[in-house]
Every structure is written in C-alpha cells, then in structure tokens.
Amino acid sequence: MADRPTFKCFILDMDGTVVDTAPDIANAANQTLRDLGMSPLPVRQIAGYIGGGVVKLMERCLAERADELLEQSIPIYTKYYDAKPAVESRLYPGVLAGMQKIKAEGGLIGICTQKPEGFSHRINEQLGIAEYVDCLVGPDSVTHKKPHPEPVLKVLEKLGVDKDTAIFVGDAASDIIAGEAAGVTTCAVTYGYGKPETLLAENPDYTIDAFEQLFDLVRISG
C-alpha cells in the first residue's frame, strides 16, 4: 500500500494495549477486597474496570461501598500490587515484534499510561521491553490525566516530535479522546479492556484487532 501514511513517533497506551496486566491487577484488587471483608471478583470483571488509574479501579470494585472504603483501599491495593506487579502479566501478541520493527526502522516509542511510572518501568523491565521505550509518561508527570491531552503532549515534548508525525494507539475511549485533543492520529485496538462500541463511538482514525495489523495501515519514518 503505497499510500500508507508515515509516522516517526508511536505513542502507546500500556494496560490493555501493550501489556495484559489484568491478572496481576485483579490479584491485588481481590486481596484488597478480602482485607476489607468483601468477596473477590472474577478477573474478567475487574479487567472491565481497568482504565483511569487506581482510584477509579477500586471505586468500581468497591461498588456501593466505595464512599465508605475507597480512601482506605488505595494504600492496601498499592502494597499488594507493588509486591507483585508483573507475575502473570504478559505482552499482547505482536507487541514485542512491533516494537523491534519500529526501533529497527528508526522510529520512536512513547508510553502514555494511567499507571504510576514506577510500576510501569518495573513491568517494562521485567517483560523485556524497557530498551525499546524512548519515553514514558504516567500520572506522576502531568497535572491532568487522559482523556486530557496533556499526557500525549508531554510525550511529544519529551521526544521532540511534531504532532503530525505521531500516532497514538490505545484500547480506551480516553486514549482516543486524548489523542484527538492533542492533534495526533489515533488508532483503537479492540483486543484490550475497552468496549469496541465505546471506542468506535470516538471515531478513531484507525481500528485494529491485533497489534501487528498496525503495520498494514501505516509506515515507520526513520
């Protein structure tokens, strides 16, 4: 496809796009619920609650008891997740090869995540992708989280690239909204935690069902 657009910078969401973190997140959340005297939830249900950060996650898990227990739950969850952030987490198929391809062809990779940066760096290191990531921006580095464009703009600033040369790939509506607000091209992935109908409602520029499909649609600019 000679008419494929070319991008220098590939900005990637983390949870649900690069890494399937649901098993470890669910383990920490369920241990927290048990400590608070509540019943554990199915992993699939907790996976559907991922997106927006720890507070949103636990608010959803606690449901009608959130007003009572949310503040207490955050340090408990953080303790458990800090102990085991990448025991069962795995890269999605095609992600490692895709990152290697981007770097081999001279592209840049930025991670734009709602996960605290300390956890994110540790997971990337343990899963063997830290060496491919040129920049990682989490909630620690910004005033406003996604869907605000600030995290995406921060990645562009750190990497020194123009918005017209960047594409943001994510599994959540907040990713698409943030990317569009920042003026970059957007690509929704349907294999993550976001609901496809919610993603499509935000009119992403591209939609893929597997990470490797990205390179059927766009090219890498070295």
| Digit-coded pLDDT (tens) for 44-63 | 999 999 988 899 999 999 99
pLDDT band at 41 (very low <50, low <70, confident <90, very high): very high
Answer whether 10's CB lies under 8 Å from 167's CB.
Answer: yes
Which CATH number fits the domain that encloses residue 109?
Answer: 3.40.50.1000
Point out the catalytic residue in the list 13, 15, 171, 175.
13
Q: Are residues 32 and 79 in the same domain?
A: yes
- E strand segments, 28-177: 90-91, 108-112, 135-137, 166-170
Residues 6+ away with beta carbon under 8 Å from 140:
116, 117, 118
pTM: 0.95
- Asked if residue 45 is part of any domain, the answer here is yes
Q: With 0-12 CB in 10 A as exposed, 13-18 as middle and 19+ as buried, what is 144?
A: exposed
Half-sphere exposure at residue 212, Cβ-oriented, CA atoms within 13 angstroms: 6
Q: Are residues 145 and 200 in the same domain?
A: yes
In this model, does residue 107 exceed pLDDT 90? yes
Q: Can you read off the two tokens belonging to residue 159?
A: 């990497």
**Which pair of tokens denotes residue 83?**
């102990």
Per the structure, the count of domains in the chain is 2
13 is catalytic: yes
The C-alpha atoms of residue 38 and residue 21 are separated, in whole angstroms, by 22
Residue 2 has pLDDT above 80, yes or no: no
Q: What is the pLDDT of residue 90?
A: 97
Same domain, 30 and 12: no
- Average pLDDT (118-138) is 97
Give the per-residue pLDDT at 51.
87
Mean pLDDT for 154-172 is: 97
Residue 63 shares a structural domain with residue 169: no
Assess whether pLDDT exceeds 70 at residue 120: yes
* Range of the structural domain that residue 126 is part of: 6-20+89-220
- Please compute the mean of the pLDDT values over residues 139-148 and round it to a whole number: 96
pLDDT of residue 121: 96
Residue 1 is assigned to a structural domain of this protein: no
